[in-house]
Homo-oligomer: A and B are copies of this chain.
Amino acid sequence: MIKKPYLLFLGDAHDQLAVKVAKGIRDWRPEDALGQLRLPGCQADLGLPDMTIEEALKAGAQTMIIGVANRGGTISESWKEVMIKALESGLDLASGLHNMMRDDPLLVAAAKKNGRKLIDVRRPKENYPIADGEKRSGKRCLTVGTDCSVGKMYTGMAMDAEMKKRNMKVSFRATGQTGILITGSGIPLDAIPADFMAGAVEWVSPGNDPDHWDLIEGQGSLFHVSFSGVTLALIHGGQPDALVICHEPTRKHMRGLPNFELPTLEAVRDLSLQTAKLANPNCKVVGVAVNTESLNDEEREAYLADVENRMGLPAVDPYLHGAGRIVDELEKI
């Protein structure tokens, strides 16, 4: 668990894309994002108050999130001075970078000396169990995709926001670095040893109140040969009651695989449901979430209408329209 609220460190980010993690926190947990700390030359701006470490502490900050990624996922030398100062001033540090803070002797020494924590969310902390497949109480919804990076996390976040608005019992269960940093907890599924993947998914979505929903963050795709095994572990470990299919309609081929075409929504629906029913025979597909960022208004409307018609399911862009129509379907389960 990462202590909230946060100061978001944007470093010397060369553009807005480099602060994707910080942007996710601002968009989905604005109450946790007290302010931003930018170094000279920073090209990103989240529109949050610019704060020094002292100001953030005064405002109640508990953790400084490394909300920026540079090429290679390393910790820039230019960031370290500020990171060490944060530790000395009383903040924990949390990072989803590929290079671990705990492998940096200066950061380790500063954390130890000041009794602060270095939280590298990309490394598994628990010894997760082998999945036992036992039916758990409570309800679960999993996002599955035609491909990687089509909006599975954002769809879950939009549903979480809508369900909180309706006072439904809901927990977003993060399974990737960005999701963990946004919500403060979760499992770094891509780094978990193969035998324990499904067990980790069970662990992160434990038994709960009968009317409580876990929104489990999906990863990869059953149709992406590099990561399909991770997706199947989510389906079998998550034993979802509901699936939401996520898609990006302008993608020319599977991400990173130029020789692989995207599957149809129907193929994703059928294989996801077939495999999900092994762990939960009552599983249903409840909606299609489309990332329409690259479509104009007319294209968007036509595309969503066509999907609704073909699939007989609500089709929305949850980032633009909210997830209300998908949550309506969850309320019927």
Give me the interface of A with B, judged by CB distance under 8 Å. Answer: 130-135, 189-195, 197-199, 222-223, 225-233, 236-237, 239, 256-257, 259-260, 271, 274-275, 278-279
Contact = CB atoms under 8 A, between A and B. Distances in A.
Given A226-B130, A232-B232, A193 B195 contact: no
Contacts of A275: 222, 228, 271
Contacts of A189: 194
A271 B135 CA distance: 23
Given A229-B229, A260-B133, A194 B198 contact: no
Contact of A194 (B230, B239, B259, B274): B230
A197 B194 contact: yes
A231 B132 CA distance: 17
Nearest to A263: B278
A293 to B, nearest CB: 25
Given A271-B274, A278-B225, A279-B225, A230 B133 contact: no
A195 B199 contact: no
Contact of A278 (B132, B134, B223, B274): B223
A256 B222 CA distance: 25
B195 A191 contact: yes
A272 B236 CA distance: 16
